[in-house]
Structure 1
C-alpha cells in the first residue's frame, strides 16, 4: 500500500509501522505492568526534539479534573473516556463525512500524546486495528495514524475528551470559537436546544469548507493495479474495434532515485553540450559568411537586371534593413541559445503547427541555397570554358558530387570555412582595389555613359526601378538566417559580434562592387552576362584575374551547396528527435555515419525544384529571395510571440516594440515587390511550400491518418475476410499502439491543477503519444506539493486517452539531474516539457535542453 501514498517521498513504510503500532505498544505495556494504574498514556519520543508542552503533565489532580468534566459534559463514564489533544475542532463540513470515505487527512487531532483508563486503552487498540484492517482491505491507504484517529473521532465523538494542544491548562470547553457548540464542536451529539446547521446553502463554500472536498479527492479509489483500463459509455467509432482501443491504462505513482549510471550519462551529456561552444566570433562568422558574402555572385546579376544604373542605391537600402533585424536576432538568441532556429524558437513559444511551418520554410531555404549555388557555379564555369553538355546537366553533376561528398562523412569545418572565406575576402579586396585604381585611371566616362543609357525617363520609373532592385537586393543578405541555426556552438556573448562582422562587409561588398562594375564595364555587357565579377576582373587586371575570380566563385558557391545539404540534415535530425518526421531519416551509413536518407531526400527535392523551373537560374534566384524573406519574417514573429507568451524569460537586449512591427511591415512590402517583378515566382514558392508542409503535416499526424485509414478499411467487411487484406487492420492497430507508447515528460514545480491541465492539453494537441510522465524533483527542504498526486489522478481520469504517470525524483532541479532523468526514462530532453522560467531562474533553457510549453 505504500506505493499509493502521496507522501511516500517523505515517509517510509517503517515509519508508518511505528506510528500505527502505538495502540498496541500502550496496551501491551498496561497488560505487562506489575502495577495496576488508573490511567495510561503514550507520548512520542520524537516530540521531545523541541520544547514539549506536556513535560510536567499530567498530575493526578489535573487528570481527575479533566475526566470529571468530560464525564459531566458527555454523559459517558470516566473509565470509558479517551484523551487526545486537539489542534482545532473538526470543521462543520465534517458532518457529511461517512465511514466509507476512509481516513480524514487533515490536522485537527494530535496523535503524539493520548491515553485513558486500561479498559479504554484496550478498547482503543481493538477499534483502531479493526478500522485499520478494514480500510486496507478496501484499497484505501492508511499510513499516518493521525488520519485514522481523525476518522475514529468522528465515529465515536462522545468517548473523546480533549484540550488545546498549545494550552494544556485550558478546560475542554473554553477557548472554542463562538460558532462551535460544546467541547467536541460539530462532532458532539446534537443538542435539542440548538438547531442543526443546514445541509445546503445558496452561498459559495468558504476556503475552510472546501477542505472536505480536498479529503474526498485524496481518497479517490481506483481499480486495483494491473491491466485494468479506463472505460467509457461512448461507443466506438469503429465497427470492428471496441472502445477499449481508444482508452489508455491507469497512471501510476513512482518514487524514483537516480542511479550512478544515470548521473554519469547526465554529466556526459552536459559536458558534450558545453564542448559544442567552441566557435569564436570569426570562426562563427565564417560558417555563414561564405553564404552571405558569396551571394554577390548571384545577387548582383539579378539586381542589375531590374534596377539598371540604380543598382548601388537599391543594394545600399537593402543591406541597411539588417539594422532592423540584428537586435531582434540578438534578443531571440539570448533567450534561446539552441540550434535549429527559427524553428526552435517557434517550437518553444507557440504550437507545433507554426513550428512545422517554420521548418518547412527553412527546408525550402536550404534547398534554394544549394540549387542557386550549384547553378551559379556552373554558370560561371560555362562562361569560361565550353562545356560538353548543357548547363543544367552541370548543375545536376555538382549536386551529385556533393551528395557523394556528404555521404562520405565529410562535414563542414569552421576552420575550413574560415580559410575559404579568407580566400574570398582577399580576392574581393584585390578586385575592389584594382577596380578603384582602374576607375581613377579611366575617369568617369564609362559611368556617365552607362548612366545616360540606363536612366529612367520619369521619377516614378526611377522609384520603381530602385524599389524592384531593393526587393531583389535582399539576395545579397542570404545566409544571415543560418547564423541562429548553429548558435549553440557559438561562445556566449559572441552572437552580436558575428552579426556585426558579416553585416558591415555585406554592405561594403555589395554596394562598392556594384558601383565599380557600373564605372568600368559597359551596361550592355553587364546586362548580357551573369559573370559580372569576372567581367570586372578582366577589365581591371586581365584575363588571368578573371579566371581566378571564376575559380574563387566556384569554390565559394560549392561551399554553399555543401552548407545547404548539411544544414538540411541537421534540421531533419532535430525534427526526428522531436518526433515530427519518421526515425528513418536519422538512419546512418555503417562506415561514415552519414544520414543517407536525409541526404538523398534533400538532393532529390532540390533537383525537383531545379527541374520544375525549367533549369532557369533567374527563376530559382527570385524564388530564393521570396523564401529568404519569409524565413526572415519568422524572427520578428517569434520575438512578438516571445514577448507575449514567454515574457518572463530572461534575455537581452530588450528590442523596442516598434522595431518588431517595422520588420513585420517590411516583409510583406518587399515580398509584394518581388512578386510584381516576376509573378511566376510566387507560384513556384507556393507549390514547393505546400508540398513540404503537406509532408511534414502528414508525418506529424501519423496516428490520425492511420485512424482514417482504419476507418475506411473498417467500412468494407469483405476486406476483413480476404486473405490478402485481412491482416491490414491488425497492422494499422499495431502501428497506432507503437506510436502511442512513445513517452514524453512534463516537469512541474507546483500542484496547481490549471497549470497541469494546460500542459496535458498541449501534449494531447501537439504530440502523438498516450504516455505522459509528470515529473517533480523533490528535496528535503520543500517536499512534495500536497495536492500533486490527487490532481494527477484527476487529470488521469479527465484524459482517458492518455496514461498519466506521476514520478517523484529525489534531487534538485538542475541540468545534470534533468539529463540523468532523460537517460533513465529514455526520453530525449527535447521531449521533456516545462513552464516558462522567471528572471530569477539560475539556469538557461539551453542548459536544460527542455522545451517550454506554457507561460
Structure 2
C-alpha cells in the first residue's frame, strides 16, 4: 500500500512529476538518471522497471490526473448530455472516494440485535405453518368439486386423484429452492436472486394477483355457501366485503395470533370432514351401491359426446384448484423453523389427496348426479343425505369458517410480498411500517384488502369469472417454481441446498405445468383475457416503480425541448420539480460486497446495479483483516470502474473485520443502507453462514 507522505524514494508515481535530466553532450552513451520532482525538490529515481505497486496506478491515470483527492468533482466525459438546458452534473456523477472504516461497538451491537430479532421471527412450527396455508389448501374442496364434476362427470374422483398426485412433482422442487434461499416473498425473491429484476417483477405480479384471487374466491364462496342455506339480507358481493373487512381487523392483531387462529380453524375443518367421511362410509355400507350405479349410467349418457380420456384430462386441469394454497407456503418461508418446510408440504399434500378424492367419491355414492351438476352446495347436501340436518348445518358452518381462513392466507402472503417490494424500493417505505403494539404491517393489510375488493368488483362480482382467472393464475405461479429451480441450477449452482432435484424432473414438471395451463385455456379461452388484463395492469405499475427515474427522465427531456414551458407561469416550476425528484431518487445508495479484486467480477456487479437499480451512489465494500490484507489490485480496479461508469459515483470502503451477518448488519446502520440493498456473490458450499442471516441479494456466481 503506497504511503501518502512523498518523502521517500517510493513516492507514488501519480503524486509526483517525472522529468529527465538534460545532458550537456549528445554523445554520452549512458543516459542521465531520471529525476523525480516533488515539492520543487529533485530525487534520483531508479531506472529499473517500475514495481507493480507503482505501475498499477499509471494504468488509470488517463483522465484522472485532475481527480480531486477528496472525491467529488464532475467526471470528464466526451459523451454529451441529452438535456440542453441542464448542467452536466445532472447526468454525470462525481468521482468516488476511498476510505477505511472500523465499526463502532454501538454499531456492532445494533447489528447483532438485528440478527437475533430476525432469528426470533422464525417462530412457526410445522403445524402452525401448515395451518396458515392449510385453510386455503383444504378449504378449496368447497369450490373445486362443483367445477370438476361439470367437465369430468362420473370420472371426477379419478381426475381429482391424478390432479392431487401432480403435487409430487412440485414438492422436491419447492424444497430445493426453499433450502437454497430460505427467504420470504417467494417466488418473487427466488427470481430476484437467480435472475433479473424484470423477471422477478413479473413473478410478483402473478403472485399478488394469486393472493387477491385466493382471498376473493374464499370470501365469495363462503357467502355463497351461506346464501344456499339461509336467506341473506344483503347480496353476495356485500357479504364478501364484510368478510374481507373482518379479516382485515383480525390480521391487524399480528401474525402470531393469526397463525394460532388459522390452526384453530383448520382443526375444526379436519374434525368436520372426518365426521362427514365416517358418516358417509356407514351410510354407504347400509344403502349399497345403488346411487353410484345410477350416477354412473346417467353420467356416461350425459357425457357420451366426449372420450373418457378427454373427460379425465379436463377434470385434472380443473382439479388442480383443489391444490390452491401450496404457493402461499414459500411466501412466509423465513418464518418457518429450520427443517420444517418439507414437513409443512407433506402435512398439506396427503390430506389434500384424501380429502379431494374421497369427498367426490362419497358425493357420487350418495347424491344424485343432477343435483351435483345443479351447482348446489354438494358437501352440505351430502351431509344431510348421510346423517341429517344437524350434520348439514355443521358442514355449512365449517365451510364458512374454513373459507374465511383462506382469506387470512391471502392477506398474510401479500403482506410478506409487500414488505419485500418496499425493502427493494419498488413500493413506498410506508409498507415497511408496523403498528407499535401488534407489529402488524397496517398499510400492507389495508391496501391489499382494498385491492382484493377492486379485483372482485371489476370482474362484475362474478364468482365464476374470478374462479376461472384464479385457476390460470395459480398455474402460472406454480410454473415459476420449476423456472426458479432451473435458473438456480444454472446461475447459482454453488448454493448449498437439499435435496438436489434431477434436471429432467424440473423440465418434466415445467412441461406438465404448460400442458395443464393449455388444457384450462382449451376448456374456456376467455380466462386468458381476464387473467392477462389484471396481470398486465399490476406489472405495469411495478415496472413504473422500477423505472421511475427513466420515466421522469423522459418527462424532463420532453419539457427541456420546449423552452417556452420554462417561461409560462403555470409550467415554470415543472423542470425544477422533476429535476429535484430525479436527483432525490438517484442519491439513494446501494452497497456491493466484494471479496476479490478481479476486474471482471467487479465489472459485472456494477453492471447489474446500473441495469437494475436507479441510483448514482454505489458503495463498493471489502471486509479485510490484518493477516490477509487487502487484495493488491483492489484500489486500481476500483478507479477503473469509477471511470467506466460516469453516471455512478463509486466509493471504495475498506472495513476492518470479518465478513459475518452481524458485521454486515452493523455496516448497514453505519451507511444507512438496508441489507436488502446490499449485493454479494453466490457463496460456495463451504460458506459457514446462511443466506437468510445476511438478508442480502445474490447478483452473481
Compared CA separation, residues 785 and 443, structure 1 to 2 (3 A): same
Give the 3 Å change call, closer, same or farther, for CA 825–236 of structure 1 in structure 2: same
CA contact (8 A) 1:302 1:618 kept: no
Matched with 1:221 is 65
**Does the 8 A contact of 2:103 with 2:667 survive in 1?**
yes
Paired residue for 2:523? 677
Aligned equivalent of 2:368: 522
Q: Secondary structure at the match of 1:455?
A: helix
Cα distance, 1:411–1:614 mapped onto 2, change above 3 Å: farther
**How far apart are the structure 2 equivalents of 1:650 and 1:409?**
33
In 2, the alpha carbon distance for the partners of 1:530 and 1:796 equals 68
1:298 aligned onto 2:143: yes
* CA deviation after TM superposition for structure 1 residue 794, in Å: 0.8
Match of 1:466 in 2: 312
Give the paired residue count: 684
Say if 1:724 and 1:519 are closer, same or farther in 2 by CA, change over 3 A: same
Please tell me whether the aligned partners of residues 581 and 700 of structure 1 are also in contact (alpha carbons under 8 angstroms).
Answer: no
Residue of 171, 184, 192 corresponding to 1:339: 184
> Is 2:428 aligned against 1:582?
yes
Query: Structure 1 residue 552: deviation in Å?
Result: 1.1
Distance 2:10 2:602 in 1: 39
Instruction: Output aligned runs, 1:264-663, within 5 Å.
Output: 264-406=109-251, 413-455=258-300, 460-587=306-433, 594-663=440-509
Q: Residue 518 and residue 22 in structure 1: after superposition, are their counterparts in 2 closer, same or farther (change >3 A)?
A: closer
Cα-to-partner distance string for 1:715-768 (whole Å, 9 max, x where unaligned): 332221122221111111111111111111111011001100000000000001
Is structure 2 residue 632 aligned with structure 1 residue 786?
Answer: yes
User: Using a 3 Å threshold, how does the CA distance of structure 1 residues 781 and 820 change in structure 2: closer, same or farther?
Assistant: same
Counterpart secondary structure, 2:621: strand
Write the distance in 2 (CA, Å) between the matches of 1:742 and 1:266. 21
| CA distance in 2: counterparts of 1:227 and 1:626, whole angstroms | 53
**Matched-pair contact (CA < 8 Å) for 1:411–1:566:** no
Show the 5 A alignment for 1:710-721. Answer: 710-721=556-567
Residue aligning to 1:262: 107
Residue 435 (structure 1) shift: 0.6
C-alpha deviations, 1:27-54, integer Å up to 9, x for none?
A: xxxxxxxxxxxxxxxxxxxxxxxxxxxx
Deviations 1:283-308 (A, max 9, x none): 22111111111111111111112111
In 2, Cα distance between equivalents of 1:836 and 1:294: 39
Residue pair 2:284, 2:365 contacting (<8 A) in 1 also: yes
Match for residue 100 of structure 1? 17
SS at match of 2:84: coil
2: distance between equivalents of 1:277 and 1:258? 27
Give the conservation status (yes or no) of the 8 Å contact 2:133–2:406. Answer: no
**CA pair 823-443 structure 1, distance change in 2 beyond 3 A:** same
Alignment partners' CA distance in 2, 1:549 and 1:812: 59
* Aligned counterpart in structure 2 of residue 821 of structure 1, from 640, 648, 667: 667
Cα-Cα RMSD: 2.7
| Aligned counterparts of 1:592 and 1:273: Cα–Cα separation in 2 | 16
Cα deviation, residue 804, structure 1: 0.2
In structure 2, list runs of 5 or more residues that go unmatched.
20-32
1:461–1:530 CA distance, 2 compared to 1 (3 A): same
Instruction: Identify if the C-alpha distance between structure 1 residues 386 and 818 changes in structure 2 by more than 3 Å, giving closer, same or farther.
Output: same
Say whether 1:811 aligns with 2:653.
no
**What residue number does 2:28 align with?**
none
- Shift in alpha-carbon separation, 1:844–1:298, aligned structure 2, 3 A: same
Cα distance in 1 for partners of 2:118, 2:248 equals 28
Alpha-carbon distance between aligned partners in 2 of 1:22 and 1:433, rounded to the nearest angstrom: 90
Task: Tell whether the 8 Å contact from 1:343 to 1:355 is kept in structure 2 after alignment.
Answer: yes
* Larger relative contact order, structure 1 or 2 (CA cutoff 8 Å, min sep 6): 2
Distance (whole Å) between structure 2 residues aligned to residue 409 and residue 719 of structure 1 = 51
2:45 corresponds to: 152
Tell me, in whole angstroms, the C-alpha distance in 2 between the residues paired with 1:375 and 1:394. 7
Could you say what secondary structure the match of 1:654 adopts? Answer: coil
Inter-partner Cα distance in structure 2 for 1:462 and 1:242: 73
Residue 58 of structure 1 is matched in structure 2 by none
Asked if the contact 1:7–1:784 (Cα under 8 Å) also holds between the matched residues in 2, the reply is no
Q: Secondary structure at the match of 2:94?
A: coil
Cα distance in 2 between the residues matched to 1:692 and 1:132: 63
Moved more, 626-635 or 590-599: 590-599
Are the aligned partners of 1:231 and 1:244 in contact in 2 as well (CA < 8 Å)? no
Among candidates 89, 100, 103, match of residue 244 of structure 1: 89
Q: Does 1:754 align with 2:625?
A: no
Q: Which moved more, 1:579-588 or 1:354-363?
A: 579-588
* CA drift at 1:328: 0.4
Question: Could you say what secondary structure the match of 1:782 adopts?
Answer: coil
- CA deviation after TM superposition for structure 1 residue 801, in Å: 0.2
Which structure 2 residues correspond to residues 174-213 of structure 1 after superposition, within 5 A?
Answer: none
TM-score (norm 2): 0.92
Q: How much does 1:427 deviate?
A: 0.8
Partner SS, residue 413 of structure 1: helix
Tell me the alpha carbon deviations over residues 71-103 of structure 1, each in whole angstroms, 9 at most, x when there is no partner.
Answer: xxxxxxxxxxxxxxxxxxxxxxxxx9997359x
SS of residue matched to 2:650: strand
SS of 2:99's partner is strand
1:438-487 CA distances to partner (integer Å, 9 max, x unpaired)?
Answer: 11111100000111111266595222211111001111111111111111
Q: 1:813 to 1:530 in 2, by over 3 A?
A: farther
Deviation, structure 1 residue 610: 1.6
Give, in whole Å, the separation in 2 of the partners of 1:209 and 1:338: 47
How far apart are 1:405 and its partner, in Å? 4.1
TM-score (norm 1): 0.76
Structure 1 contact 613–620 (Cα < 8 Å) conserved: yes
User: Contact conserved, 2:72 with 2:96, CA < 8 A, in 1?
Assistant: no
